[in-house]
Structures are given as C-alpha cells and as structure tokens.
Chain A
C-alpha cells in the first residue's frame, strides 16, 4: 500500500533555514501537502503542490518536489520560535485518499 516516510526530529537554530524531507511511494499521487500541528491544536494546511510542479514558494516556505525520486521537501526560511511544531507530509492518490507521514517534530534552538 501507499506509504509516506519522514524523519521524526529536526533541531534548527533560530534564524537559520529548516529543511524537512519526505519520501512517498505512490507514483499516482496527484497532490502533496505539508500540514503543521502545534501542541494541542488541530492540523493546519501550510501549503500543497500539484504533482506536475517541481517547486512552489509562499513567503518563507519553499516546497520542492522530485517526482522521479518521490521526494518532497519543505524549507522554512529564517526559522522563528513560532515555527516550533510537528510537520506532516501527506500525499493524495487518484483514489482521493490522503496518506500522512508520522510527522517531523521541529525544535528551535535559541
């Protein structure tokens, strides 16, 4: 079945860039997503990319998609303490089901 993998933890110094990586297995993915979840809060859609794109930029966020390698990344420029959260990678296949990774916990060092 479909699977989404991402590393569990990332520590970054405040002001540096954070890069969170994700790999997926479904070659028929139509959309790929990044969600943010803060402690005790719901899932917030941060950004998404259509599978025929290779890059999308939205203010401090840059998403890169390598469809050949089934690799997705999220870069957060000038990381702030408010960026501390769990970031979930997710992919949507042609069956409209969305499969999530286990999440990457981003920790900001002072």
Chain B
C-alpha cells in the first residue's frame, strides 16, 4: 500500500516568508509526528498528533511554528517569518493506534535564503 507522502519534496523560500509543508500519512494511522533533521544530526521531535489533536507540541522551537491536522489525516506544518536557521529536512511519520512502529516519509528539504 501507499506509504507516508510529503509535499513538496523541496522548498526554497526567502527569509521572512511563510511556508506550509504537507504530510499525508498511511491510511488508517491515527498517530502523526513531525521531526526536523539538520545536516549531520538525528531527527529532532517537533510535534505529535493523536487523531486531530496535538498530544505533545513541546518540540516546536518557537511560536513561528504551528501544525494542524483538522480531519485526523493530512497534516500541515506552518512556519511564519522564516529564518535561515529553519533550513533543514522536515520529516513526517505515522503509526497505528498502538504506535510502536513509525513509518517515515521522504521529507521536505526547506532552504531559506
């Protein structure tokens, strides 16, 4: 079946602009995670949804970052007033109710110039 998909695969934006990154989880998966991976680092947890609600958003670096999952399926990560330090690969993962196996999407590479 289809895996986790993320769009766009690459996004180049200017400093100060607003961006939206989309994640389509595996059908039926109730849990959805966003991570950020900088060069040479492991994925860094940002936010976790169980259904429509954010169960844990403690990893969001500041209030410029926001994520939604209005219908409990697709999620959008929104970044306002982008900064060069936001440049990274943004990864999405989903898992079923019991949640012990996470499946990752290919990521969106965000470059802020």
Check A97 against B101 for contact (C-beta < 8 Å).
no
Q: Mark B59-72, 1 if CB is under 8 A from A, else 0.
A: 10000000000000
Complex CA–CA separation, A88 to B40 (angstroms)? 11
What residues on B are CB-neighbors of A41 within 8 Å? 106
Check A95 against B100 for contact (C-beta < 8 Å).
no
Check A45 against B102 for contact (C-beta < 8 Å).
yes
Check A101 against B42 for contact (C-beta < 8 Å).
yes
Number of residues from A at the complex interface, CB < 8 A: 24
Within 8 A of B (CB), among A52-74: none
Check B101 against A100 for contact (C-beta < 8 Å).
no
What residues on A are CB-neighbors of B45 within 8 Å? 97-100
Q: Which residue of B42, B50, B56, B105 is within 8 Å of A100 (Cβ)? A: B42
Q: Name the residue on A nearest B41 (C-beta).
A: A102
Check B106 against A98 for contact (C-beta < 8 Å).
no
What residues on A are CB-neighbors of B14 within 8 Å? none
Q: Name the residue on B nearest A2 (C-beta).
A: B45
What residues on A are CB-neighbors of B41 within 8 Å? 102-103
Q: Does A10 contact B (CB under 8 A)?
A: no
What are 30 sample pairs from A and B whose C-beta atoms fall under 8 A apart? A30-B100, A31-B100, A33-B102, A35-B104, A42-B91, A42-B107, A43-B93, A44-B104, A45-B101, A45-B102, A48-B100, A48-B101, A88-B42, A88-B43, A95-B56, A96-B31, A96-B48, A96-B50, A96-B55, A96-B56, A97-B45, A97-B48, A97-B56, A97-B58, A97-B59, A99-B45, A100-B35, A100-B43, A102-B40, A102-B42
- A-B pairs, top 4 by smallest CB distance, nearest first, are A100-B42, A43-B104, A42-B106, A100-B43
Q: What residues of chain A have their CB less than 8 Å away from a CB belonging to chain B? A: 4, 30-31, 33, 35, 41-45, 48, 50, 88, 90, 92, 95-103
